[in-house]
């Protein structure tokens, strides 16, 4: 699995925990066509076999950039048809990312601009280095966010703040992102991956069916009215009752030991 991709590095940590690193540090981990193929293949693989995974951490190679967005050198001189074909690939990768039933945590180690910021926003939540910076700069290039930015950012920071960020293209700091609710935790330089992994390990140690069902209920419930969301929650809850993990969880509590969940 770790050797199957050209532009991302996949490292299996054990216990269902996987680290995915955007791995083009010479160009600030910018997204080229091959990275689109690699991300699509990775997330489609996870979505087809989620039982083998419990938590994923997404980060960038190096200490300066998480992802600088689309590779503009590759896009120089592209025909309209080629540009749209590439963007369709990116759209498919983003949809597969958002549809991932396994929690994905962002360890934002540096600049996350344009499409890089959009990748970060696709994560279930974000830890960021205090030195990280964010921006959605697309309108300064004659385009607009097209990888979920106009949808995920307002859901994270509110409509009015999102309009200011997107329409100005102005960069903002990790501190700003934390204060606005986009980032969950600020980390000292050099510690963001370790802190994210600690949280990811805690998630991976929990009952995996429960984690996936809870993520599903939160994500889709927020797109419904309250009554429909409550019904979705109960449907997700009832999935737990006949599982071995539910019985193991109750038994371990009463026996005063750590549970051993098997995803069954």
**Residue 1: per-residue pLDDT:** 44
> Per the domain annotation, does 105 fall within a domain?
yes
**Residue 263: per-residue pLDDT:** 84
> Per the domain annotation, does 111 fall within a domain?
yes
Locus of tokens 């004659």 = 142
From residue 149, alpha-carbon distances to 9, 39, 129, 178, 257 in Å are 24, 17, 21, 17, 44
Question: Within 10 A of 44 (CB to CB), how many other CB atoms are there?
Answer: 17
- Give the CATH number for residue 211: 1.10.12.10
3-state DSSP percent of the chain in helix, strand and coil, to 5: 50, 15, 30
The stretches in the chain having pLDDT less than 70 are 1-3
Residue 189 backbone phi and psi in degrees, to 5: -50, 135
The answer to whether residues 102 and 214 belong to one domain is no
The answer to whether residues 185 and 216 belong to one domain is no
The string of pLDDT tens digits covering residues 40-59 is 999 999 999 989 899 999 99
The answer to whether residues 141 and 109 belong to one domain is yes
Does residue 164 sit in helix, strand or coil? helix
Q: Domain span at residue 87?
A: 8-204
> Per the domain annotation, does 73 fall within a domain?
yes
The answer to whether residues 200 and 223 belong to one domain is no
> Per the domain annotation, does 234 fall within a domain?
yes
> Per the domain annotation, does 146 fall within a domain?
yes
The answer to whether residues 100 and 199 belong to one domain is yes
> Per the domain annotation, does 241 fall within a domain?
yes
> Per the domain annotation, does 191 fall within a domain?
yes
> Per the domain annotation, does 261 fall within a domain?
no
The answer to whether residues 74 and 26 belong to one domain is yes
The answer to whether residues 15 and 131 belong to one domain is yes
Does residue 217 sit in helix, strand or coil? helix
Structure tokens at 210: 């429960």
**Residue 2: per-residue pLDDT:** 44
- Report the sign of the C-alpha dihedral through residues 25, 26, 30, 34, in that order: negative
- Give the CATH number for residue 192: 3.90.226.10
Structure tokens at 2: 């770790």
Structure tokens at 34: 């091959």
The string of pLDDT tens digits covering residues 192-202 is 999 999 999 99
The answer to whether residues 45 and 136 belong to one domain is yes
Residue 181 backbone phi and psi in degrees, to 5: 90, 5
**Residue 94: per-residue pLDDT:** 97
From residue 183, alpha-carbon distances to 50, 66, 127, 134 in Å are 26, 14, 6, 11
Count: domains in the chain: 2
The answer to whether residues 80 and 115 belong to one domain is yes
Question: Which of 96, 59, 86 is CA-nearest to residue 200?
Answer: 59
| CA distance linking residue 26 with residue 31, whole number of Å | 12
The answer to whether residues 217 and 100 belong to one domain is no
| CA distance linking residue 85 with residue 163, whole number of Å | 28
């Amino acid at each position: 699995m770790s050797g199957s991709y050209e532009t991302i590095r996949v490292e299996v940590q054990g216990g269902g925990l996987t680290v995915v690193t955007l791995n083009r540090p010479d160009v600030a981990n910018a997204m080229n066509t091959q990275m689109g193929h690699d991300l699509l293949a990775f997330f489609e693989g996870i979505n087809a076999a989620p039982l083998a995974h419990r938590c994923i951490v997404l980060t960038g190679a190096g200490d300066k950039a998480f992802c600088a967005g689309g590779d503009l050198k590759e896009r120089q001189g592209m025909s309209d048809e080629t540009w749209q074909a590439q963007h369709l690939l990116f759209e498919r990768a983003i949809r597969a990312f958002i549809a991932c039933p396994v929690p994905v945590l962002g360890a934002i180690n540096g600049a996350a601009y344009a499409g890089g910021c959009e990748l970060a926003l696709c994560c279930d939540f974000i830890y960021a280095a205090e030195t990280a910076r964010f921006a959605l700069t697309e309108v300064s290039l004659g385009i607009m966010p097209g990888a979920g930015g106009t949808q995920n950012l307002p859901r994270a920071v509110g409509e009015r703040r999102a309009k200011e960020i997107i329409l100005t293209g102005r960069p903002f700091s990790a501190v700003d992102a934390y204060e606005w609710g986009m980032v969950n935790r600020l980390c000292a330089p050099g510690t963001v991956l370790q802190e994210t992994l600690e949280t990811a390990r805690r998630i991976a140690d929990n009952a995996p069916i429960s984690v996936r069902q809870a993520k599903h209920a939160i994500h889709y419930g927020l797109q419904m009215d309250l009554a429909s969301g409550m019904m979705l929650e109960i449907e997700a809850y009832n999935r737990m009752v006949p599982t071995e993990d539910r019985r193991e969880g109750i038994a371990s509590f009463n026996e005063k030991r750590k549970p051993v969940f098997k995803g069954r």
